Chain A
């Protein structure tokens, strides 16, 4: 197979066309933003259709479209099914989204809840975890954009990465969360239609029988449901996904933005809609042995199959799908991280008396600053930054139980929550290095739970949830 599937000129043209569409939409939707709530939270009345689409699209990242095929190619059936269990996080967040809207109707961020529920100590611990993870994810997405565009078209890494970051920063700054949500809807349709077309071509031109026979002969481990590494990956991925969603302001900001009564249904249905996507994407990769493809780099197996079966048209489809997946996650991350920094660092620590107009200006500036900061760190293409996310599983999983118990259990207290996050993270990191990446989130979650339960028994605290509402700004 050729090194590039598309010419740089075609790739750049595609980037340009979609950039104009997204930025145009961002500018148009930004005109209707009047208040801070309009800008940061789309007016707090997002309906079911847009809510479901944005929850689903944001969870479809470049990993879903590139790493799911890679995992299917390396770990087989459990690789793609294990990846699809990431949907459980969305579905489990459904009742939490409903509860968040009830107990904190005027909240802006996950940090608001932790501060009001647990106090300053736990709030700062949580902010460190949340911001380090958000920044790591932002940089990994930025790098992924440049790498994928370069791999598919030969377009320089720096150009592809810069264009994708600049476009997402542009329409997010212009339109706020409304622009993010509206573009998410369109991007979700593009992603699904593109993946369906590829899967359909694989079924028609290769077929299930041919795929099964070839794998049975050449790579039987991929069909083995007792493949040990795959089973361990499955459970760790499930917990990592739950931790990512439960702690991240990307999902909390949506819970605040959705109309009352919508959040629970939207997250649950979004989870159901997301669940088959990694299986459809992963299945495409299982056709690679049947097509006698030489796969030098496993993360390119999806584009290789598409290119083999559809030529340039297949490469165009993959390009558009991956760009949409990247944009749908980058814009959400930019908006949510900016919200967290604006509300919890700027208003929370630097200028508590800032009015809403100032907050909105600062928020836009921080979106720009985040984009620039990410661009600077993406430029040297340090691969270790991308692998940062692998051990962040220990960090994010430590926040699961402080959040869940904080929302439902009155005896959970701030000191215990801080200790749970600290100990969970520390022991989880030890497990990461001593045992392997596939247990970090599991260990962190277990330790965090043990500390939360012990602390809740030892310290006689009783929190009433109307206190959260009463102390809102």
Chain B
């Protein structure tokens, strides 16, 4: 089987990037919720 191994750096970047976006997500969701609630656009 041919091989092309992901390096430690690439694995670190991939997972760290995913973790970073996932950290932003709940912050963004709550911020959007507060904004919608203040503007009376919740539902």
- A49 partner residues in chain B, CB cutoff 8 A: 29, 32-33, 35-36, 42
The answer to whether B21 touches A208 (Cβ under 8 A) is no
- A220 partner residues in chain B, CB cutoff 8 A: 3, 5
- Chain B: interface size category: 20 to 34
CA distance in complex: A280, B3 (Å):
24
* Closest-CB distance, B32 to chain A (whole angstroms): 4
Q: A189-B26, A208-B8 are in contact. Are A276 and B21 (CB under 8 A)?
A: yes
- B23 partner residues in chain A, CB cutoff 8 A: 196
CA distance in complex: A435, B3 (Å):
24
The answer to whether B19 touches A50 (Cβ under 8 A) is no
- B17 partner residues in chain A, CB cutoff 8 A: 276
Q: Which of A48, A216, A223 contacts B36 (CB 8 A)?
A: A48
Within A205-226, the residues touching B (CB, 8 Å) are 208-209, 211-213, 216, 220-221, 223-226
Q: Which of A42, A178, A181, A196 contacts B22 (CB 8 A)?
A: A196
CA distance in complex: A211, B9 (Å):
12
Total number of residue pairs linking A and B with CB closer than 8 Å: 111
- A185 partner residues in chain B, CB cutoff 8 A: 29, 33
CA distance in complex: A50, B22 (Å):
17
The answer to whether A212 touches B26 (Cβ under 8 A) is no
Q: Which of B6, B18, B25, B35 contacts A223 (CB 8 A)?
A: B6
- A259 partner residues in chain B, CB cutoff 8 A: 41, 43
CA distance in complex: A199, B11 (Å):
14
The answer to whether B19 touches A199 (Cβ under 8 A) is yes
The answer to whether B18 touches A50 (Cβ under 8 A) is no
- A50 partner residues in chain B, CB cutoff 8 A: 33, 36, 42-43
Could you show 19 A-B contacts with beta carbons less than 8 Å apart?
Answer: A42-B43, A47-B36, A47-B42, A49-B32, A49-B33, A49-B35, A49-B36, A56-B25, A181-B43, A189-B30, A193-B26, A203-B15, A208-B12, A227-B1, A273-B25, A273-B29, A276-B21, A279-B18, A280-B15
**B residues in contact (CB < 8 Å) with A:** 1-8, 11-12, 14-15, 17-19, 21-23, 25-26, 28-30, 32-33, 35-36, 41-43
**A residues in contact (CB < 8 Å) with B:** 42-43, 45-50, 52-53, 56, 77, 81, 84, 178, 181, 185, 188-189, 192-193, 195-196, 199-200, 203, 208-209, 211-213, 216, 220-221, 223-228, 259, 272-273, 275-277, 279-280, 283
